[in-house]
Chain A
Amino acid sequence: MRPDRILSDAAKSPSAGIVRFEGVGLRYGQGTEILQDISFALPGGSFHYLTGDSGAGKSSLLSLMYLARRPTRGRIEMFGIDTTRMNHAMLPRVRRRIGVVFQDFRLLDHLSTLDNVALPLRVAGVRESEIARHVPELLNWVGLGGALKTRPPLLSGGEKQRVAIARAVINRPDLLLADEPTGNVDDRIAQRLMHLFVELNRLGTTVVIATHNEPLIRRFPYPRLHLAEGGLALHPASGASPAEA
């Protein structure tokens, strides 16, 4: 096995993973495999960065985790369920346990900020009275309390990003996947958002953040899954402890 395709410690103990990849490969169409023999496991309550150059496959790896596509080969387990054997009807139940922050936000432009953030709650059948209580509270927390009725086209990039993050965390997911969640915000907001992720992690959410932001990685040190040449390597945390950040 190539040194950059190592298994994480968690992957060596199969029962531990909330996310578990075994020999996963992914290719688009007839092209070469963008991900090759990816094997790792993320223990429940862990916090990892996902790093790699542009085009290394970070977004593709995340998309496999949030079940937007199936691998070309290999096996993926989410929350102990083999997703390669999962039928269509089972997908929503698993997806409701995953919060996703997309790089391009993927907000619904015709809905207000409040309705965008409320979406995961509404599809899960949460009562409107609860939505009316929780969503403004979270939006206040991310600094968008004054934009509840504003639609995404009228928001700045950083504001959209915060809406996307609020939508991903509103239902306290078991797994949070974020693709460059601090890419469009200033340093102060980035730190605030990182504190939100750290707090969610402290409450038990497993977090995976794809990022290029090295200063942030140093300030909030957690283990890093690094993608290069289609393979995945695990690097331990380095730098100050998250508590110090």
Chain B
Amino acid sequence: MLRRRSDLPFDHDATAAFLPAMIAMMVFLATLALSGALVLDNLLDRWNRDIKGTLTVQVVHPDAANAKAVAARVEKTIRLIEETPGVLRARALSEGELAALIEPWLGSSDLIADLPLPSLIDVTVGDAPPPDLVALSERLRKEVPGASVDDHRIWLSRVIRLADGLEMLARSVMALVALAAAVAVVYATRAGLAIHRSSIEILHLVGARDGYIARQYALRALWLGSQGAAIGFGLAAPVLLGLGAMAKTLQGGLLAEVSFGSAHWVVLGLVPVLAALLAMTAAFLTVLRTLARML
């Protein structure tokens, strides 16, 4: 349908080579930028879930040998935590759980049993509204000396802020690539209009409306844009597959969710489609705008 007969001699102009090459490059860059944005979005989502879920309160005991005193301090700490709005529940880790946590560093549980370990309280918090951790920290410091909130959100929030910035950067790159593609199509179309001016005059003189001529340019741009978009996406896909394979070999927690699912590929597949449609729309509007100034 796209390659139907045209009233304008498009086969003889340079845009046939320029436009697909340019769209191919743009789609390649946009696909990589969007995939970066999707990966970051994934990571951010996971980190945000982590940050919202739990936090830990540590209680250091001055008299660790006094089990009764230790239990009283832990109980008081849990009560204070649970009184804080936004906290869903608080639970002290058992000695077994504590031992399991530090076993990778200190070895057998026999040795751990002899150590004056602090108590750890696992706190589950909600996000509507989240608890005021600064106030809780202050209250614990006053009422249970040695208790402190281990808020891993502070450093994670910094990482999230960085990732947010990177995601915004990726989206900005996409927007710039789309803008650059549109500008290139506009100039290519203007060049095409200048090349075919005499043919356009003939079409006008036999009664062609601007829309009739613009549709021919638009279909041409859609055809060339589709070719370029397919090439660009065809080049980007193996790069992404390669990067995904490399990420999997790292086996790191940070990169665990870097790999793409089918939903991501569907989203990425929209890039070449949108690029071709963008080329078509830019060409159509450019022709209409230019022809409106002709007699």
Contact = CB atoms under 8 A, between A and B. Distances in A.
B156 to A, nearest CB: 60
B263 interface: no
B110 interface: no
Contacts of B203: 119, 123
A96 B207 contact: yes
B206 A68 contact: no
A242 interface: no
Contacts of A124: 207
Interface in A104-147: 106, 108-111, 115, 119-120, 122-124
A65 B193 CA distance: 25
A51 B191 CA distance: 39
Contacts of B11: 110
Given A108-B9, A115-B5, A68 B201 contact: yes
Contacts of A70: 295
A95 B206 CA distance: 6
B295 A95 contact: no
B76 interface: no
A70 B294 CA distance: 11
Contacts of B210: 88
Interface string A201-219: 0000000000000000000
Interface string A55-97: 0000000000011111000000000000000001101110110
A108 B203 CA distance: 10
B292 interface: yes
Given A100-B205, A123-B209, A123-B212, A110 B295 contact: no
A122 B295 contact: no
Contacts of B206: 95-96, 119-120, 123, 167
B89 interface: no
Contacts of A122: 7
A100 B212 CA distance: 20
Interface in B1-58: 5, 7, 9, 11-12
Given A67-B295, A69-B295, A119 B204 contact: no
Contacts of A119: 7, 202-203, 206
B207 A109 contact: no
A122 B206 CA distance: 10
A45 B67 CA distance: 119
B241 interface: no
A61 to B, nearest CB: 16
A95 B205 contact: yes
A181 to B, nearest CB: 16
B114 to A, nearest CB: 94
Contacts of B169: none
A108 B199 contact: yes
Contacts of A108: 7, 9, 199, 202
Interface string B208-233: 11101000000000000000000000
Nearest to B12: A110
A68 B202 contact: no
Contact of B208 (A67, A89, A92): A92
Which of B201, B204, B205 has most A Cβ within 10 Å?
A: B205
Nearest to A170: B206
A95 B204 contact: yes
B63 to A, nearest CB: 93
A95 B5 contact: no
Contacts of A88: 210, 292, 295
Given A108-B199, A115-B5, A68 B209 contact: no
A120 B295 contact: no
The 3 closest A-B pairs by CB, nearest first: A96-B207, A123-B208, A110-B9
Interface of A: 66-70, 88-89, 91-93, 95-96, 100, 106, 108-111, 115, 119-120, 122-124, 167
Interface of B: 5, 7, 9, 11-12, 198-199, 201-210, 212, 292, 295
15 contacts: A67-B295, A68-B201, A70-B295, A88-B210, A89-B209, A91-B204, A96-B207, A106-B201, A106-B202, A108-B7, A108-B9, A110-B11, A110-B12, A119-B206, A123-B206
Given A106-B205, A123-B212, A167-B206, 14 more contacts: A69-B295, A70-B295, A88-B210, A88-B295, A89-B209, A96-B206, A106-B202, A108-B202, A109-B9, A110-B12, A120-B206, A122-B7, A123-B206, A123-B208
